[in-house]
Structure 1
Amino acid sequence: MEKIKKFLREVFAEAKKTHWPNRSELLTSTSVVVLILAVMGVYFFLLDLFLSGSIRAILKALGVG
């Protein structure tokens, strides 16, 4: 039982050290994440388009597709 109490004391001590972002920091971080997701989504869409077109062209040239 003493180990559990020690563990909980340490958890609460660490929780007090936690820095929670204010509204401005939260909105900035969220905007960065959404922007990166959008850019990566477009990148992978274009990459998929290019690779599927290339594979389709190769297969057509080989007479498979």
Structure 2
Amino acid sequence: MPASAKKAFALRLDPALYAAIERLAADELRSANAEIEVLLREALARRGVSPKVAAPPRRGRPPKEESGS
């Protein structure tokens, strides 16, 4: 799995809760998924938990490998 991949999983939410998240996300110009992530990070921070910061995704073409021939 690449270092930049995020964990995907099914999340069941009350429809009214999801609608509220969608409204918040629209106000912040985010997707609902990104808004859920922000809300979870804020909730963890309030509890004094700081998740490890993931390395940013690597962009561009990978460097050429030197051939030993």
Q: What TM-score do the two structures reach when normalised by structure 1?
A: 0.28
When Rg is computed on C-alpha atoms for both structures, the one with the higher figure is 1
The structure that is helix-richer by fraction is: 1
Q: What TM-score do the two structures reach when normalised by structure 2?
A: 0.26
**Larger relative contact order (C-alpha < 8 A, sep ≥ 6)?**
2
